[in-house]
A and B are shown apart, each in its own frame.
Chain A
Amino acid sequence: MVSRIKGIEFKMLDPEMIKSLAAVRIVTSDLYDVDGYPVEGGVMDPRLGVIDPGLHCRTCGSGIGDCPGHFGYLELAKPVINILYTKAIYKLLKITCSKCGRVLSKPEDNKKSKDLSRNPPGKCPYCGQEQGKIKFLKPNTFYEDKEEMSPEHIREWFERIPDDDLKRINFKGGRPESMILTLFPVSPVTTRPSITLESGEKSEDDLTHKLVDIVRINQSLRENMDIGAPDFIINDLWELLQYHVTTYFDNELTGIPQARHRSGRPLKGMIQRMKGKEGRIRGNLLGKRVNFSARTVISPDPRISINEVGVPDIVAKELTIEVPVTKLSMNEVKEAIKRDRANYAKRPDGRRIKISSENKEEILENIAEGWVIDRQLKDGDMVLFNRQPSLHRPSIMAHKVRVMPHKTFRISPQVCPPYNADFDGDEMNLHALQTEEARVEAAELINVKNNLISPRFGGPLIGLDLDQISGVYLLTRSKKKFNRKETSAILSKAGIKIDLPDGVAEFTGKEIFSLLLPKELNMEFKSTSCRQCDSCIKEKCEYDSWVKIKNGKLLTGTIDAAAVGAFKGKIISRMHGLVDTDTIRKFIDNAGRLGVAFMGQRGFSIGISDLDLKDDIMEQIGKRIVKAEKESNALIEKYNNKELEILPGMTASESLETRILNVLAEGLNSTSEIVKEHVKDSDFIVMVNSGSKGSLVNLTQMAACVGQEAILGQRIKRGYYNRTLPHFRQGDLSAAGHGFVRKGFKQELSPTELFWNIMNGREGLMDKSLRTRKSGYMQRRLVNALQDLRVTPSLAVKNSNGHIIQFVAGEDGVDPSKSEWGDVHE
């Protein structure tokens, strides 16, 4: 029968419960006898559970793994405080009567227990008893009118508190006297297994050490009480017992010296086991280690496909996949064993045999249907590949294995964007899938080739990058004709296996690129290099920026980032729906290699002198900057004379700052225009125009002027008293004194200018680390809130209770990953 859990109530263990849970009464601090067997009545008593393989539990009869372990109990000679409840004890002492135990206010007074404990009445409204002043001295001493209260005394006090009064003050978790321990629950050995060291010596768990201390001191206390030892001895032992019980629960309390192991390492208390990142909750329940996984550094391999992953041979030897031995698999299995590509053989009786060169002949003879072998990873296996932080679905995708030498995972540089990976030491995780269903599901649903389009914005996550884009740009732009031999040379260098059409003697760059395009492709669009002319003349564009593809032939236009780039590539997004994803995959592979191959043949080089400008141009630029500075000085003078026009919603100085920023930005813009016009044609320009890397801003900053360095979007103003640096006068408002860099990187920056630049760089660094932490937490909260929402067949979004969140998913019912930038075609 299935029934629903209504609720769970957490309560303190009371003495009756402790006794009824227990299988053993603990009476001795000895662990093992001279023969090494656990002593009965000790804290390793065999009735507390089994931790040795092959043995059966004396209490429940089950073996290791099935026996849950059983509690024992220890009768404490004198009660001690449970350190985890000192706050509740303190509060209860303050608001109850020391004589009759009633709450120090009548129900009709309607007083909250919080107010009561903050301001306890001096007199009991029931019996009239004057109340002493209760003080709590951390960690575990209570005073009533400066007289120390013994745990016994507190316990008796709590026993007098009536149940009804407890209910009134909303005291939960059972009777309050359970907060003072008289019986001590001894945890099952399964919760503190001992480990046998290689030397054969036994090493006990921290909790066992702690329990031994508790039992030993408890015994000594009892003996001393029995012989009527003097009070100071009894009290010392009692305090020691309290210390051991306290540190058993929590060994990181302030004011209590940590209990230490013989080696000097602090022991782990109950709290330490649960608390924190590596504790039971966050370390073991919310996150677990997984088998059949591997992690190593990633490095690029542009020759493998986007849906492959290069796996180091040493990793492939370690990761295995179970293969059942059947008629069909027999040959494969035997071959794997023969070639040492299988690690274990499992017989139908469940025995696992490690396959070695000594026993493989024997295994080969005996192997039969019904056996299962653990076969090593091999080429073509589908595995999951992941890079943390896994912020979106494509952070985990399925790749096809290619076993390779050396010790890094190899991936195509084109799959970096979805993982947000680079090769500056990034590591990634790989998971070998263990069932046939999982492998098929992965190969279909999360295969890289089926996740080219972002489920977020409907554009391609994967495309060409950097030199790949520059390469195809140069190829499709060049006027050069390539004869059949030259064409073949480029294609073979790129590793592209395509037959050249017969009867064509020469190919243009566009025609070579067209070889990769599917015949079904027809589209027209503006490329990155488009100059956004007022009226576009399309095919006749003098910059060849109008891309026109007809039946898979590139007729006009240059291929660049807008066509094939990651996050942008229009060709890639359009190919979806026209051809199958494997064709798109091959296109991306080939286009990238074609670009690099052509670039290798043409050559590609940049140098700082590419940004040299003629002297008269530099002079012109200098004048522009001086003009901008003059304008800002004029503003400053106006401000000083209180004549500055104040902008709406701003103070005078805010208006000044905004105006200065605008004036200087305008100055920089006009220098940008000059640079754009006069910088000589170089491979820098190729990168900027093709959209592969860099922008006009970068060129301007190198060639002519860095411009304003801003902190928090403002001119730099912090630093010394009334000035930014000692190089300036107090109250100086000039551009140069507040972060304006008039030179370009190629010229020399002045010391102060360099300082502005570094300040800006540092802000970027701090910003980056702060932002990632903030957005990471935000992401976690969102994911936790939204993780079990789902889209139903009616397209409504519902939560797990069937409550409707949205009537049509995304309001338009469109799955972006099946769309072209959110739009549905046809």
Chain B
Amino acid sequence: MPKHEILSDKEKKEVMAKFDVNESQLPKISISDPVMETMDASPGDIVRITRNSKTAGKAVYYRVVVK
């Protein structure tokens, strides 16, 4: 499973500013997703997912936790 981390409030703001989006424009992940059940996340949190990538080696993705 790729690495999932919950962002701090500060990081969350930075991400949203960097991509110029609001929460609803981010990809989502359900709170009941098996991955989310392993961590202490609540709706509105943003998780950073670091995956292996064919083109870039490592690729970062963000998802907002939803109900």
Contact = CB atoms under 8 A, between A and B. Distances in A.
A804 B19 contact: yes
Contacts of B59: 807-808, 811-812
A38 interface: no
Question: Which label, helix, strand, loop or mixed, suits the secondary structure of the B interface?
Answer: mixed
A442 B66 CA distance: 46
Interface string B32-64: 000000000000000000000111100111100
A808 B21 CA distance: 14
Contacts of A810: 55-56
A581 to B, nearest CB: 25
Given A796-B19, A811-B59, A804 B26 contact: yes
Contacts of B19: 792, 794, 796, 804, 807
A822 B54 CA distance: 11
A810 B56 CA distance: 8
Interface residues of A, number: 17
Contacts of A822: 55
A812 B53 contact: yes
Interface string A793-809: 01010100111110110
Contact of A803 (B20, B25, B55): B25
Given A801-B25, A802-B25, A803-B25, A811 B55 contact: yes
A814 interface: yes
Contact of A794 (B18, B54, B60): B18
Contact of B25 (A804, A811, A812): A804
A796 B25 CA distance: 12
Contacts of A798: 21, 25
Contacts of A801: 25
Interface string B7-38: 00000000000111100111100000000000
Contacts of B25: 798, 801-804
Contacts of A808: 56, 59-60
Contacts of B27: 803-805
B14 to A, nearest CB: 12
Nearest to B26: A804
Contacts of B56: 808, 810-813
A226 to B, nearest CB: 67
Contacts of B53: 811-812
B55 A804 contact: no
A807 B61 contact: yes
Contacts of A814: 55
B34 to A, nearest CB: 23
Nearest to B20: A794
B60 A804 contact: no
B21 A807 contact: no
Given A794-B18, A794-B19, A796-B19, A807 B60 contact: yes
Contacts of A794: 18-20
B62 to A, nearest CB: 6
A14 to B, nearest CB: 41
Nearest to B17: A794
A807 B62 CA distance: 8
B26 A812 contact: no
A796 B18 CA distance: 10
A595 to B, nearest CB: 35
A615 B18 CA distance: 75
Nearest to A806: B61
A821 B27 CA distance: 30
A818 to B, nearest CB: 14
A804 B26 CA distance: 6
Contacts of A813: 56
A730 to B, nearest CB: 51
Given A801-B25, A804-B25, A814-B55, A792 B61 contact: no
Interface in A758-815: 792, 794, 796, 798, 801-805, 807-808, 810-814
A813 B58 CA distance: 12
A617 to B, nearest CB: 46
A603 to B, nearest CB: 47
Given A807-B60, A807-B61, A802 B21 contact: yes
B20 A792 contact: yes
Contacts of B21: 798, 802-804
A780 B56 CA distance: 28
A810 B53 CA distance: 9
A811 B20 CA distance: 18
Nearest to B28: A803
Nearest to B57: A812
Interface string A247-280: 0000000000000000000000000000000000
Contacts of B61: 807
Nearest to A801: B25
A814 B19 CA distance: 18
Contacts of A811: 53-56, 59
A798 B24 CA distance: 13
Contacts of A805: 27
Contacts of A802: 21, 25
B28 to A, nearest CB: 10
A797 to B, nearest CB: 10
A804 B24 CA distance: 10
Contacts of A803: 21, 24-27
Nearest to A795: B19
A613 to B, nearest CB: 45
B13 to A, nearest CB: 15
A822 B25 CA distance: 29
Nearest to A805: B27
Contacts of A792: 19-20
A812 B60 CA distance: 10
A813 B60 CA distance: 12
B3 to A, nearest CB: 15
Interface of B: 18-21, 24-27, 53-56, 59-62
20 contacts: A794-B20, A798-B21, A798-B25, A801-B25, A802-B21, A802-B25, A803-B24, A803-B25, A803-B27, A804-B19, A804-B62, A807-B59, A807-B60, A807-B62, A808-B59, A808-B60, A811-B53, A811-B54, A811-B55, A812-B53
Interface of A: 792, 794, 796, 798, 801-805, 807-808, 810-814, 822
Can you list the 8 inter-chain pairs with the closest CB atoms, starting with the nearest? Answer: A812-B56, A811-B59, A812-B55, A811-B53, A811-B56, A802-B25, A803-B25, A811-B55
